[in-house]
Chains A and B, each alone.
Chain A
Amino acid sequence: MNINFWLNGVCINCEAEPDMILLDLLREKGCYSVKRGCETSNCGLCTVLMDGTPVLSCSILAVRAEGHKITTLEGMQKEAEEFGSFLADEGADQCGFCNPGFLMNVFAMLQELKDPSEEDILEYLAGNLCRCTGFAGQTRSILKFLQYKKEQKEADNA
């Protein structure tokens, strides 16, 4: 089937079989940041944004991307470097395999939740598994990033 969608701001026109999974199409289109960690929608590694909403690209038919805006980490490199630096400064990037899906959901959370508590953060990101860090370093990096953003904003206002 022929489909049209926006991938990281670029309009894509391509062919996709009816049962093709979005995750596979995205990798085919060079978005290698999108990873598969399970087949049961449990790991969160394949998280991408669909019209700004975080979704599991392993659970979406490629044809359902028709007319939607899909964003992967390839389309958010600047944000990735900015937040990623905080993650790296905790040593919490570790093997890195879960990082892209984790970052995408962090970005979605920052859009959706204003001033999230630590508990809110843990609940919002619960669908992003990580086996290396025990999560503590990831949480530290988010809290420090939020603080940095807050200070940045205050400085801008002043």
Chain B
Amino acid sequence: MLKIRNYIKVKSIAEAYELNQKKTACILGGMVWLKMGNRNISTAIDLSGLGLDTIQETEEEFIIGCMTSLRTLETNQALHEFSHGAVKESLRHIVGVQFRNCATVGGSIYGRYGFSDVLTMLLALDTWAEFYEGGKIPLSEFVNMKKNRDVLVNIRIRKTPVFCSYRSQRNSETDFPVLACAASLLGEETRTVIGARPGRAMIVGDPLGILKNFREMTNKQRAAAIASYAEYAADHVPTGSNMRASAEYRTMLVKVLVRRTWEAVGGMKNEY
């Protein structure tokens, strides 16, 4: 059972940072994961009094407070439109509405869980993690950083024009994904993210430039490029086995989901 000695609802991020320097301290997110563990927490730090539970939209970006619930993220209309429905698709399978009302964006991102749909999705956008001490770091960098004792304050999604698509394969509708895939045309960049490999989400990369100039391609060219890139991804994304599926099956899914998400991004087919 989770044990907590002190609970402090902080008045500022600075206070949270200060308290969090102790190894046995812990910043609370939505508690849906934390409460399952057997941790002994000396000081539980609650950020819920700092108004960090909303999404602000500016000309340049969406600023998502770390305490924003997954449900708030899912139901944000502007973000929904901006992501062509991908953000909602990445969230709606996560357990249930009540769960998503509790779980926070900050908790989901900070934990960098292997099964995370949210992390997979946000990696496909121009997303930055904003820390109290470390400042703004591209999410793609943060995802591979070592854990430290900094405080995640906001998630910022820059409004770089994007076409994107999100798909996941699950054994049942509200289960963890067996594989998750997000594809995006981010300005001129093509980005493909695979999550639940079952390891942590990763950006696949396109060193051969298979998808280069995707925007300018004809549908026929796109189809050929997508097929070839799907093969590339299947060859290069490390997958593993767990009780939900084998590495072999996951690799097969990489190919299928990469193709399907890119077909959707290319506006060619989106009916699976």
A: which residues have CB within 8 A of B?
Answer: 1, 17-19, 21, 39-42, 44, 47, 53-56, 58-61, 63-64, 66, 105, 108-109, 123-128
CB distance from B95 to the nearest CB of A (A): 5
The answer to whether B95 and A42 have CB atoms under 8 Å apart is yes
The answer to whether B5 and A126 have CB atoms under 8 Å apart is no
21 contacts between A and B (CB under 8 A): A18-B4, A18-B5, A19-B2, A21-B35, A41-B36, A41-B99, A41-B102, A44-B98, A55-B98, A56-B32, A56-B98, A56-B102, A58-B35, A59-B35, A59-B102, A63-B46, A64-B46, A105-B96, A109-B97, A124-B97, A127-B98
B118-143 Cβ-contact flags toward A at 8 Å (1 or 0) = 00000000000000000000000000
Q: Which of A1, A21, A61, A105 contacts B97 (CB 8 A)?
A: A105
A21 CB contacts on chain B under 8 angstroms: 35
CB-CB nearest in chain A for B1? A19
The answer to whether B31 and A59 have CB atoms under 8 Å apart is yes
B173 adjacent to chain A (CB < 8 Å): yes
B: which residues have CB within 8 A of A?
Answer: 1-7, 9, 28, 30-32, 35-36, 41, 44, 46, 48, 92, 95-99, 101-102, 173-174
The answer to whether B174 and A55 have CB atoms under 8 Å apart is no
B41 CB contacts on chain A under 8 angstroms: 19
CB distance from B52 to the nearest CB of A (A): 14
With A and B bound together, what is the CA distance between A44 and B102 in angstroms?
12
The 5 closest A-B pairs by CB, nearest first: A127-B96, A18-B7, A19-B4, A18-B4, A41-B32
- Chain B interface, DSSP helix/strand/loop, else mixed: mixed
CB-CB nearest in chain A for B92? A123
Contact of A127 with B35 at beta-carbon distance under 8 Å, contacts A60-B102, A61-B28 already known: no
With A and B bound together, what is the CA distance between A117 and B1 in angstroms?
40
Contact of A53 with B101 at beta-carbon distance under 8 Å, contacts A18-B7, A126-B174 already known: yes
CB distance from B12 to the nearest CB of A (A): 18
With A and B bound together, what is the CA distance between A125 and B44 in angstroms?
31
The answer to whether A64 and B102 have CB atoms under 8 Å apart is no
The answer to whether B96 and A55 have CB atoms under 8 Å apart is no
With A and B bound together, what is the CA distance between A21 and B35 in angstroms?
9
With A and B bound together, what is the CA distance between A40 and B176 in angstroms?
13
CB-CB nearest in chain A for B40? A19
The answer to whether A54 and B98 have CB atoms under 8 Å apart is yes
The answer to whether B4 and A64 have CB atoms under 8 Å apart is no
With A and B bound together, what is the CA distance between A125 and B100 in angstroms?
12
With A and B bound together, what is the CA distance between A66 and B2 in angstroms?
20
With A and B bound together, what is the CA distance between A61 and B26 in angstroms?
14
With A and B bound together, what is the CA distance between A111 and B41 in angstroms?
37
With A and B bound together, what is the CA distance between A113 and B174 in angstroms?
21
The answer to whether B98 and A105 have CB atoms under 8 Å apart is yes
A126 CB contacts on chain B under 8 angstroms: 95-97, 173-174
